[in-house]
Chains A and B, each alone.
Chain A
C-alpha cells in the first residue's frame, strides 16, 4: 500500500509539473548524448594514440662504408639507451626490398646501384614517445660515431601530443560542465515539484511521516526523468551514428558501430544522475518550503 501510494504520488508530481519534467528529460538527453559521445570519441582517440605509439619508430641511417663490427658497435650503443624498447636492423638489401614493396620499382633497375643506406628501426617504450623525450633520444643517437642521420615524424608527434592534450582538457571540461548542468536541471525540477506540493509535505510532516516516505516520490520522479533522459540520449546517439556513417561511408572506408551497451550506459547514467540529484534536492527543499507555509 505504501509503495502504491508513493508510486501514485510520483506520477501525480510528474503530471503536475509535466512541462518542466519534459524540458528536464530533453535537456538530460541532449547533455548525456554529448557526454557519452565525447567519452566515445575520447576512447577512440586514446586507442588511436595508443596505436600510433605502438607504431612509432625512429630511423637511424648509418654511414655507407661501416664495417660489420662498427655496425654492431652502434647497435650496442643503441641498446644501452634506457628509453629504447626494440632495435631492428635493416640492411641495404632489405631496404631495397622494402622500397620495391612500397613503390613497386626495383632500385637496381632505376639507378644500377643501391644508394639506400643500412639503418636501425628503433621503437621506444610507450611512455617515452613524448616529443621532448624523443628529441632527447634522437639527439643522443645523432652524435654516435657511424650514424649519418636520424629521422622520425617529429611534427606529427608534436601535433598529436598537442591536440590530444587539448582534446582531453576540453573534453573533460565539457563533460563536467554538462554533468553539473544536468544536476542543476534535475534539482530545479524537483525544487518546483517540492514547492508546488509544500502544503502536502507540511501535512505529512504534521502527521508524523518520516523523511524517506516524503522524499521517495520526488526521488522516483528524478529517477524517471533521468532514465527517460537516458533513453532519449540513446536515441540521439543512435541517430547520430547512423547519420555519420551515412555521410562518411562514401568518403572513408570506416563505419561507427553502435553497441547496445551505449543504451545501457545512457539509461544507467541518467538513472543514477536522477537519483542523486533528486535525493539531494528533496532533502534540502522539503523542510525549507514546508516551513514557509504552515
Chain B
C-alpha cells in the first residue's frame, strides 16, 4: 500500500474541507479523483503532499505518517512526489531548462547529471527545442508540459495532478493526459483530480468520486 487514509478529516472552520475519508492508493496505480468544484479534491491532494495536516484521523504515505512527520521530513516527502497544478506554478522569469532542473538543483545534483536528466525529460515531453525560452513566454499547454517535466525529473513514486487540464484547450489537454498515462505506464502512480469527464471517458482507471468533502468508490 502506497497511501492509506484513516478517518481523514480536515476542517477549515468554514464548513469546507474533507470529512472522515477512508481510502488507500496502490503503488503504480492511476487514480482519477472526480467531483464538482469545491468538493475537496484539492484539499485531499494538499494533505497527500502535507501542505496541510489532518485535523482528525491520519494519512500514511509509504514511510511517512502524518501524526509523526517533522517539517524536514515533509520536505523529503515532497522531493519524492511530483506535483502538477492547474495554474502550472512555474517560475516565469526562469528558462524552461531551469524550471525543470529546479528539483535537482535544490537537492545538490551535479551540473552534468542535471543537464543529462533534464534533456531526456524535455525530449519526453516534446519541449527540447524550447529549453532556453523563459517559462512566461510559453503557451498554456507548453507550460503544463514543463510542469509535468519538472514533476517527473526526480523519478517520483507518485505524481499528483490537480486539475492539470483545467486551463487548457482540448488538444493541449489531451497531450497532457497522454503524458500522464505514459508516466503511469512506466510504473509511477498518478492521482489526477479532474472534472473533464470527456477526457477520461474511454479509460478504465480507478475512479473515486468526492462530494461535500466525502469520498465514495464508484
Q: Assuming the A-B contacts A5-B98, A208-B103, A210-B106, are A203 and B91 also in contact, with contact meaning beta carbons closer than 8 angstroms in the complex?
A: yes
Across the interface, do A1 and B79 meet the contact criterion of CB distance under 8 Å? no
Q: A1 contacts which chain B residues (CB < 8 A)?
A: 101, 104-105, 109-111, 114
- Give a binary string over A107-124; 1 marks a CB under 8 Å from any B CB, 0 the rest: 000000000000000000
- From 204 to 233 in chain A, residues with beta carbon under 8 angstroms from any chain B beta carbon are 204, 206-210, 213
Across the interface, do A5 and B105 meet the contact criterion of CB distance under 8 Å? yes
How far apart are the CA atoms of A189 and B84 in the complex, in Å?
32
Query: B190 near A: Cβ within 8 Å?
Result: no
Q: Assuming the A-B contacts A206-B51, A208-B76, are A2 and B89 also in contact, with contact meaning beta carbons closer than 8 angstroms in the complex?
A: no
Q: Which residue of B lies closest to A1 (CB)?
A: B111
Query: B152 near A: Cβ within 8 Å?
Result: no
- Give a binary string over B71-84; 1 marks a CB under 8 Å from any A CB, 0 the rest: 00011111100010
Across the interface, do A209 and B106 meet the contact criterion of CB distance under 8 Å? yes
Interface size for B (C-beta < 8 A) is: 26
- Give a binary string over B89-102; 1 marks a CB under 8 Å from any A CB, 0 the rest: 11101000010011
Across the interface, do B77 and A206 meet the contact criterion of CB distance under 8 Å? no
Across the interface, do A208 and B109 meet the contact criterion of CB distance under 8 Å? no
Q: A210 contacts which chain B residues (CB < 8 A)?
A: 75, 106
- Give a binary string over A190-209; 1 marks a CB under 8 Å from any B CB, 0 the rest: 00000000011011101111
Across the interface, do B93 and A12 meet the contact criterion of CB distance under 8 Å? yes
How far apart are the CA atoms of A200 and B101 in the complex, in Å?
15
Across the interface, do B49 and A204 meet the contact criterion of CB distance under 8 Å? no
Query: B108 near A: Cβ within 8 Å?
Result: yes
Across the interface, B75 reaches (CB within 8 A) one of A2, A12, A208, A294, namely: A208
How far apart are the CA atoms of A286 and B45 in the complex, in Å?
23
How far apart are the CA atoms of A5 and B94 in the complex, in Å?
10
Q: Which residue of A lies closest to B113 (CB)?
A: A1
Across the interface, A2 reaches (CB within 8 A) one of B76, B78, B105, namely: B105
- From 18 to 51 in chain A, residues with beta carbon under 8 angstroms from any chain B beta carbon are none
> In terms of DSSP, what is the predominant structure of the interface of chain A?
helix
How far apart are the CA atoms of A231 and B152 in the complex, in Å?
46
Q: Assuming the A-B contacts A1-B105, A2-B105, A5-B105, are A209 and B75 also in contact, with contact meaning beta carbons closer than 8 angstroms in the complex?
A: yes
- From 94 to 138 in chain B, residues with beta carbon under 8 angstroms from any chain A beta carbon are 98, 101-106, 108-111, 114
- Please indicate which of the listed interface residues A1, A206, A213 has the most CB atoms of chain B within 10 Å of its own CB: A1
Q: Separation in Å of the B51 CB from the closest CB of chain A?
A: 7
Across the interface, do B110 and A207 meet the contact criterion of CB distance under 8 Å? no
Q: Separation in Å of the A197 CB from the closest CB of chain B?
A: 9
Q: Which residue of B lies closest to A210 (CB)?
A: B75
- Give a binary string over A261-286; 1 marks a CB under 8 Å from any B CB, 0 the rest: 00000000000000000000000000
Residues of B within 8 A of A (CB): 49, 51, 74-79, 83, 89-91, 93, 98, 101-106, 108-111, 114, 150
Not counting A5-B98, A203-B90, a sample of 19 additional A-B residue pairs whose C-beta atoms are within 8 angstroms of each other reads A1-B101, A1-B104, A1-B111, A1-B114, A2-B105, A2-B108, A5-B105, A12-B93, A202-B89, A203-B89, A203-B91, A206-B51, A207-B79, A207-B102, A207-B103, A207-B106, A208-B76, A209-B106, A294-B89
9 closest Cβ pairs, A-B complex:
A208-B78, A208-B79, A209-B106, A1-B111, A208-B75, A203-B89, A5-B105, A200-B91, A213-B106
13 contacts between A and B (CB under 8 A): A1-B104, A1-B105, A1-B111, A2-B108, A5-B98, A206-B78, A206-B89, A207-B79, A207-B102, A208-B78, A208-B103, A209-B102, A209-B106
Residues of A within 8 A of B (CB): 1-2, 5, 12, 199-200, 202-204, 206-210, 213, 294
